[in-house]
Amino acid sequence: MKATVALIACLVSLVTGCESIDRQSNNAVEIESKSVIKDTSIAKGQSEYSNKGAGNQDVSRDVATPCLTNIQSFYKWYLGVQDTVNYFANSIVFQSDSTGESANRFYIVDRLKKSNYLNFLQKSGFFSKYFLERMNASLEYKMRHIEKIKQHDGEPEGFESDLILFTQDLDPNTDNFRYKFRNNRVEVDNGENVILFYLSKDCSIDSTVFNGRSERI
């Protein structure tokens, strides 16, 4: 009789222990499941964040944002100083007889005005040393060419449009501009043209390239 009671007690204890183990196991599965769901949610959130934050960019938002901000700031500054920019750029090459009455009327160059133009760009802080050196070389080439051909009518060759943004009419409304960051460049679509800004590590402008007409036209 005592043996039977002991056996029953043992069985009850065993069943209770199994139920406890099952409950612990179920809790572990539930906790693990919640953990997986949470991790999946985080991963999904990060993916959406990267896509939304970067748009069409192929780098992280932390990397892209400073360079995009710098180019947006450049546009705001550049459009605000157009009168000064035009004054410096237009004074580099000018006609020897502004009245047009002289038979010897032709374009001449002013290298001091070229230096003033480059100094103005440098002081803005938006351009790298490399950009300024390339711009200087480009201006020298254009100026020597004009001196050589003794151009006397029309727009001076190489100075027909803006020296940085390659257009004659700059749109002052930047609200509809589209910006894309890829590797070391920012692509700016202003609705008419696409300009590529190649950047140095500190996001200053190394060079600008005309990249064709906007697909939105």
What's the whole-number mean pLDDT along residues 82-98? 83
Across the range 20-28, mean pLDDT stands at: 46
Among 164, 140, 182, 178, residue whose Cα is nearest residue 77: 164
Reported as a single tens digit per residue, the pLDDT across 165-180 is: 998 878 888 888 999 9
pLDDT higher at 73 or 28: 73
Is the pLDDT reported for residue 187 higher than 50?
A: yes
| Cβ neighbours of 185 (radius 10 Å) | 19
pLDDT on residue 105:
73
For the chain, the straight-line distance linking the first and the last C-alpha, in angstroms and rounded, comes to 99
Chain position carrying tokens 């351009």: 127
Q: Convert the pLDDT of each residue in 125-158 to its tens digit.
A: 999 999 999 999 999 999 999 888 888 778 888 8
The model's confidence at residue 32, banded by pLDDT at 50, 70 and 90, is very low
The confidence score (pLDDT) of residue 7 equals 43
pLDDT value at residue 214: 65
CA angle 79, 84, 90 (to 5 degrees): 110
Question: Measuring CA to CA, how many Å separate 203 from each of 85, 165, 210?
Answer: 22, 17, 19
